[in-house]
Homo-oligomer: A and B are copies of this chain.
């Protein structure tokens, strides 16, 4: 039993609207987390945080703040940023986790830098060769699916697909509450013979070693929820993720242009804004509030740079859930039976 309360470090300097959205999100999560005895530790530039807190009337009384002089920007090269900006809020947050001062980290900063820092400072879960980031996808079912890798693991080998599948399954079971998550490979046809030689090999590996592997699914099956865990390489995943992220904006633009041509339409759109907005929100990546970086020895929740305060609140709650569900230990247990030698 730890002698200190559970603690989550929030990197407040990472996002596009930092530190305003981060502070507002922390305040929104505070009451619920405190009820569970969980503390939020802010990590960021002291003066800038205080200034913004004052402007937004956010009290920092119950939000202890640790100072970090530097900021890693979205434009920074991940590897060199992690190496040279050791005093950044991002690296410092993860260092606090590595030292056991906090039990989870939430960041909306440079994703590549979060992955690099976490892999370097926390280490990988044994049996994992590459940590992965997934994204939640809305489906016709009652729960979203998880699509992974979307973390830009470009050249994937069959064993990486296998590891993504296992990690996705643990996540779906522990955090989405799906008892026996159905796992599929994203491919250009259902037959085992489809796709690249790497995918065909991954298929064989999953078929013999992954519980609940249901075979290949195609692009059209994702939103139907044909599988709970959809596995692809980081290139395809990244293209799909960003395409998906652009949909809500594209629809909004089209609706607006249609409405502009007709008064009746304008009236109706105005009247039914909440319905449409709700619909669009489902397709909006950030409403899920980030997903964990899977495969590192710690709980790290990565969010979109444009995350809203609500999204950041959700990330903090998600981090707490991941701690409670012992996500890291469960990943470790699942990956222990890895049939492929490193």
Chain A residues within CB distance 8 Å of chain B: 138, 140, 152, 154-155, 186, 188, 195-196, 218-224, 232, 234-236, 238-247, 249-251, 253-255, 258, 265, 268, 271-272, 275, 278-279, 282
How many angstroms between the C-alpha atoms of A188 and B150 in the bound complex?
A: 10
Which residues from B are CB-within-8-Å of A186? 239
Q: A240-B243, A255-B279 are in contact. Are A154 and B196 (CB under 8 A)?
A: yes
CB within 8 A of A154: which of B195, B235, B278? B195
Q: Is B258 within 8 A of A265, CB to CB?
A: no
Distance between A307 CB and nearest chain B CB, rounded to angstroms:
16
> Could you list some 23 contacts between A and B, CB below 8 A?
A140-B250, A140-B253, A154-B196, A186-B239, A188-B234, A218-B238, A218-B242, A219-B243, A219-B245, A220-B246, A223-B246, A223-B247, A223-B250, A224-B250, A240-B240, A240-B243, A254-B282, A258-B279, A265-B272, A265-B275, A268-B272, A268-B275, A272-B272
How many angstroms between the C-alpha atoms of A186 and B239 in the bound complex?
A: 8
Q: Is B265 within 8 A of A196, CB to CB?
A: no
Q: A219-B239, A242-B220, A246-B224 are in contact. Are A154 and B279 (CB under 8 A)?
A: no
CB within 8 A of A219: which of B155, B188, B240, B255? B240
**A-B pairs with lowest CB-CB distance, top 3:** A219-B242, A219-B243, A220-B246
This chain's copy number in the assembly? 2
Q: Is B243 within 8 A of A220, CB to CB?
A: yes
User: Which residue on chain B has the smallest CB distance to residue A246?
Assistant: B220
Which residues from B are CB-within-8-Å of A254? 140, 279, 282
Q: Is B235 within 8 A of A236, CB to CB?
A: yes
Q: Is A239 within 8 A of B236, CB to CB?
A: yes
Q: Is B275 within 8 A of A235, CB to CB?
A: no
Counting chain B CB atoms within 10 Å of each CB, the highest count among A188, A232, A255 belongs to A188
Which residues from B are CB-within-8-Å of A240? 219, 239-240, 243
Which residues from B are CB-within-8-Å of A155? 196
Distance between A332 CB and nearest chain B CB, rounded to angstroms:
29
Which residues from B are CB-within-8-Å of A138? 250
Which residues from B are CB-within-8-Å of A152? 188
Which residues from B are CB-within-8-Å of A188? 152, 154, 234-235, 238-239
